[in-house]
A and B are shown apart, each in its own frame.
Chain A
Amino acid sequence: MLNKNKKIIAKLKTAELLGRGGANFPTHLKWQMVLSAPAKKKYIVANGSEGEPNTSKDGFILANYPAKLIAGIKIALDTFENSEAYIYLRKDYYKKYKLKLEKLIGRLPITVFKEAGGYLSGEETTLCQEIEGQIHRPRIKPPFPSQAGIFGLPTLINNIETFYCIAQIDRNQYKKTRFYTISGQAKHPGVFELPLGLTIKQVLEKTNNWPSFNFFLQVGGGASGEIFLPSELDKPVEGSGSIVIYNKDKTDPWVLMRQWIDFFMDQNCDKCTPCREGTYRLLQMIKDRQFDEKALDDLLFVLEHTSFCALGKMVVMPFRSAVDKLLK
């Protein structure tokens, strides 16, 4: 291995950088896999699909630190021989930031790509399908994109925030921070760069967002995040780093659950039985404002344990926590 490659991977390892898309996979391992996959050509993707509602930290980075993003991608381009890169953006980000990014890209082999799909298109194998112009459905894993991604070639897919961190790490400027998105009935909504690993409570306090009303939170994504009550906030913020604040007295949990299920049904690909039919049966129960406990439990069970991809598995958490904490 080239010395400079060894160096960057060692740096990523020392920094303990985990992927910021929400899955927390160690970044240095991903880089190592792509690096050691034998191929004449490799792809790099900066994933700016950011399909989770109430999450906008990738948009924040695109607006405020685009040069850092490009710098991060450039490090990957230098690391992987004969590689080319995509900045893969959801439609509104593409419209807003394409020209700005292209100016910064200059002659680097980086293409700004407009995502056609939605939430699911942020899933790594679906992303590969999209770039190849295929049906927007996830692929069987293995092979993982790091082994065989776009057009069957090794593909490094990192979140936009991950690339931002990589640029910092490379210049020894990484301060172990992450971006938190705060929304809902917040006094000071927005995206905040704060230390990693803060508890939910600390984030609310540091951003001066502790509600003055009876509230509950959805943490980790505006659709797939878990519900937390005020007494449970000593846990670290997980997933995509988002916190949505709800007024407990003014929020009808059935209406909220309806929004989630509409979102999942709209965004899923209908490939596998539990996600296609299971979400539909959840919708029917939510419409009736009544859960048959056994049926609900079975549906969540197959969603969690038999869904083809992560989308179906992610349906489970918000409902399970909402049923336990908001309906009982």
Chain B
Amino acid sequence: MKKIINISINGKKYTAELGQTILDVARANQIPISTLCYHSDIKIQASCRLCMVEIAGRKGLYASCSTPIEDGMIVVTDSKDITRAKQTNLELIFSEHCEECGDCVYQQRCHIRDYAKKFKVNINKFPDRKKGHPIHQFGPALIFDSSKCIDCGLCVDACHKVGVDFLEYKKKGKFYEVVPSAKADKDCVYCGQCLAHCPVGAFEGVGEFEDVDKPLLHKNKTIVFQFAPSIRSTIGEEFGLPYGTVVTEKLVGAIRKLGVKYVFDTSVGADVTTVEEAKELVHRIKANKNLPMFTSCCPGWVKYAEFFQPEMLPYLTSARSPQMITAGLIKTYWAKSKKINPKDIIVVSIMPCVAKKYEVARPEMKIGGRKAVDYVLTTRELAHLLRKRKIDLKTVAPQKPDQALGIPTGAGVIYGASGGVMESALRTAYKMMTGQALPKLELESVRGITGFKKASIKIGKRTVKVAVVNGLANAKELLAELKENPKAYDYVEVMACFGGCIGGGGQPLPVNDEIRQKRAQSLYSVDRQNKIRVAEDSPIVKKVYKEFFNKEKNIKLVCHTKYHRKKKEVYPVK
């Protein structure tokens, strides 16, 4: 048990646990303290020096984020000196942040601007030190504008926590700067957790502000939108709705208001991914070959495996991700039924993820020599587009997605949360192997935001050992475990981002465990309310298999892919 102690903040008494910091106690009791470099996901940076407080009996000021509480401590969070320190440090922070407020991922939720107002800071006291600093681009996914960077260190540690270590400090002239690594054994996997943890919007998706209109500019084409499982419980935040609000039909309504006729739910493609993946899993288990099988619907994880752990590639399922299968079906099965030439179809995916921009550009994803997905917009980018067109998601009339590809099962929706792919595939695999439905559909042990989850499921006579990891550092740990014990697991789900797609690099900001939990819980509630919760029971899946996937070559064309060992892609040294 933790020791409970008493402290006083601004004259009021609070009880708190020994081991907490002053900031922890202040936050828990709604006492405002300004911070920039604090993020609950990441270890304490203590670099911005805004959260200064005074402690009775001690000289000077203390950073509340890194000062542990002591019994009887008397803390003041507001004084002349504290304000002066905040003002000056904010002036200095603004001197290294070249503002571009119109095009910022934080939109109206910018902390430093709020602080500047609150503390009456002259943001132009000093000229911009970083004017003209380089803009780095990481593949087709991310932009890092170093002239906005305030050197807080969160992105470097987020990249480290993901398990990639692509961002690092390098001394350039008199200053250390955050740079993409030039080392041959380091590369970006495009997950975007740097973006998700940057407090000042120095990172954004490629084309995040400039290109959001582009998909709508194709006049004589049939424009088709699809939206990923997780979008329904996240995009509401961009329009001021509470975390985790499910807005599926409003989302469809808003997209239709853009003038888009056809809107599909990517969760239907997820149901097909599930069936294909479960088939492969059952096959591998029966043959006892290439186990454990790894999921591959996360393009960040795929890039990680291809670059950092290529020996694992035979273990990845060949099943394509839901967005690729949905797009494949749109440009084949649906195009044929609609009698539209696939070359006249523009597929636009709304994704929680910047790595999805990379996935659609992979040459092995082409169908008939053509890209299956023409544009990827992140959750945030769709929100920018809607705002630009003065469409308010909150008030838009709800509509149903197109029925041509049917409605998804609950299993297809939970893909957006870490553990969801595993749970969906096991529901189907169980049925395939035993002919019966799982006695309890909910696999509670693989749900939740924990980074490394394990479970054993008895399927017939066989005990199937599964693991679910989010954050690639956990994947690294799991792979190390497999080197020691190759039979530790039969099936592994990997997601690059913390919490899975609901915590993706394309999602609304800010994000933390509490927000991720709310977003995930909403997806599980959609599943719970769904009448059909096993992918292969889906009428549309049955129909597609009967009418189109009755030919093995169509399955191969739309549903499967290959992986290749990758060399460094971002700033390779020639």
Bound Cα distance from A280 to B85, whole angstroms: 17
With A281-B95, A298-B84, A302-B92 as known contacts, state yes or no: A273 contacts B47, CB within 8 Å.
yes
Bound Cα distance from A277 to B95, whole angstroms: 8
Indicate whether B461 reaches chain A with its CB closer than 8 angstroms.
no
Indicate whether B126 reaches chain A with its CB closer than 8 angstroms.
yes
Q: Are A276 and B88 in contact (CB under 8 A)?
A: no
Q: Are B129 and A280 in contact (CB under 8 A)?
A: yes
Bound Cα distance from A23 to B92, whole angstroms: 29
Bound Cα distance from A179 to B133, whole angstroms: 47
**Which residues of chain A have C-beta atoms less than 8 A from B169's C-beta?**
135, 270
The residue that B47 contacts in the complex, of A271, A280, A295, with Cβ under 8 A, is A271
Q: Which residue of chain B has its CB nearest to the CB of A135?
A: B169
Q: Are B151 and A302 in contact (CB under 8 A)?
A: no
Indicate whether B174 reaches chain A with its CB closer than 8 angstroms.
yes
For chain A residues 97-143, which have a beta carbon within 8 Å of chain B?
Answer: 135, 140, 142
Q: Are B68 and A278 in contact (CB under 8 A)?
A: no
The residue that A273 contacts in the complex, of B48, B60, B84, with Cβ under 8 A, is B48
Indicate whether A78 reaches chain B with its CB closer than 8 angstroms.
no
Q: Are B47 and A308 in contact (CB under 8 A)?
A: yes
Q: Distance in Å from the Cβ of B149 to the closest Cβ of chain A? A: 11
Q: Mark A135-166, 1 if CB is under 8 A from B, else 0.
A: 10000101000000000000000000000000
Q: Are B92 and A273 in contact (CB under 8 A)?
A: yes
Q: Mark A9-46, 1 if CB is under 8 A from B, else 0.
A: 00000000000000000000000000000000000000
Q: Distance in Å from the Cβ of B147 to the closest Cβ of chain A? A: 14
Q: Are B176 and A301 in contact (CB under 8 A)?
A: no
Q: Distance in Å from the Cβ of A160 to the closest Cβ of chain B? A: 28
**Which residues of chain B have C-beta atoms less than 8 A from A135's C-beta?**
169
Q: Which residue of chain A has its CB nearest to the CB of B81?
A: A305
**Which residues of chain B have C-beta atoms less than 8 A from A301's C-beta?**
81, 84-85, 88
Indicate whether A274 reaches chain B with its CB closer than 8 angstroms.
yes
With A140-B66, A308-B49 as known contacts, state yes or no: A269 contacts B85, CB within 8 Å.
no
Q: Distance in Å from the Cβ of B482 to the closest Cβ of chain A? A: 27
Q: Are A302 and B126 in contact (CB under 8 A)?
A: no
Q: Distance in Å from the Cβ of A145 to the closest Cβ of chain B? A: 16
Q: Which residue of chain A has its CB nearest to the CB of B90?
A: A273
Q: Are A305 and B52 in contact (CB under 8 A)?
A: yes
Q: Distance in Å from the Cβ of A94 to the closest Cβ of chain B? A: 21
Among B52, B91, B93: residue with most chain A CB under 10 A: B91
Q: Distance in Å from the Cβ of A41 to the closest Cβ of chain B? A: 24
Indicate whether B561 reaches chain A with its CB closer than 8 angstroms.
no
Q: Distance in Å from the Cβ of A133 to the closest Cβ of chain B? A: 14
Q: Are A269 and B96 in contact (CB under 8 A)?
A: no
Q: Are B96 and A277 in contact (CB under 8 A)?
A: yes
**Which residues of chain B have C-beta atoms less than 8 A from A232's C-beta?**
none
Q: Are A306 and B175 in contact (CB under 8 A)?
A: no
Q: Are A140 and B49 in contact (CB under 8 A)?
A: no
**Which residues of chain B have C-beta atoms less than 8 A from A305's C-beta?**
52, 60-61, 81, 85
Q: Mark A241-281, 1 if CB is under 8 A from B, else 0.
A: 00000000000000000000000011001111110111011
For chain B residues 70-94, which have a beta carbon within 8 Å of chain A?
Answer: 81, 84-85, 87-89, 91-93
Bound Cα distance from A271 to B49, whole angstroms: 10
The residue that B176 contacts in the complex, of A270, A298, A299, A302, with Cβ under 8 A, is A270
**Which residues of chain A have C-beta atoms less than 8 A from B52's C-beta?**
305-306
Bound Cα distance from A278 to B85, whole angstroms: 12
Indicate whether B63 reaches chain A with its CB closer than 8 angstroms.
yes
Q: Are B47 and A272 in contact (CB under 8 A)?
A: yes
Q: Distance in Å from the Cβ of A206 to the closest Cβ of chain B? A: 34
The residue that B129 contacts in the complex, of A140, A277, A295, A298, with Cβ under 8 A, is A277
The residue that B46 contacts in the complex, of A278, A302, A308, with Cβ under 8 A, is A308
With A135-B169, A140-B46 as known contacts, state yes or no: A278 contacts B92, CB within 8 Å.
yes
Q: Distance in Å from the Cβ of B380 to the closest Cβ of chain A? A: 28
Q: Are A272 and B84 in contact (CB under 8 A)?
A: no
Q: Distance in Å from the Cβ of A7 to the closest Cβ of chain B? A: 33
With A140-B66, A301-B84, A308-B47 as known contacts, state yes or no: A277 contacts B93, CB within 8 Å.
yes
Q: Which residue of chain B has its CB nearest to the CB of A307?
A: B49
Bound Cα distance from A141 to B60, whole angstroms: 16
Q: Are A299 and B66 in contact (CB under 8 A)?
A: no
Q: Are B49 and A273 in contact (CB under 8 A)?
A: yes
Q: Are A306 and B89 in contact (CB under 8 A)?
A: yes
The residue that A302 contacts in the complex, of B88, B150, B153, with Cβ under 8 A, is B88
Q: Distance in Å from the Cβ of A184 to the closest Cβ of chain B? A: 26
**Which residues of chain A have C-beta atoms less than 8 A from B49's C-beta?**
272-274, 302, 306-308
Bound Cα distance from A23 to B181, whole angstroms: 38
Bound Cα distance from A302 to B63, whole angstroms: 12
**Which residues of chain A have C-beta atoms less than 8 A from B135's C-beta?**
none
Q: Which residue of chain B has its CB nearest to the CB of A280?
A: B129
**Which residues of chain B have C-beta atoms less than 8 A from A270's C-beta?**
151, 169, 175-176
**Which residues of chain A have C-beta atoms less than 8 A from B85's C-beta?**
301-302, 305-306
With A301-B84, A305-B61 as known contacts, state yes or no: A273 contacts B89, CB within 8 Å.
yes
Which 10 residue pairs spanning A and B have beta carbons closest together?
A277-B92, A270-B176, A306-B49, A298-B88, A302-B88, A305-B61, A140-B66, A273-B89, A265-B174, A273-B49
11 CB-based A-B contacts, threshold 8 Å:
A140-B44, A140-B46, A265-B174, A272-B49, A274-B92, A277-B93, A280-B175, A281-B95, A302-B92, A304-B60, A305-B60
Residues on A lying within 8 angstroms of B by beta carbon are 135, 140, 142, 265-266, 269-274, 276-278, 280-281, 295, 298-299, 301-302, 304-308
Contacts A301-B81, A306-B52 known; 12 new A-B pairs at CB < 8 A: A140-B44, A266-B174, A270-B151, A273-B151, A276-B151, A277-B93, A277-B95, A278-B92, A301-B85, A302-B85, A302-B89, A306-B85
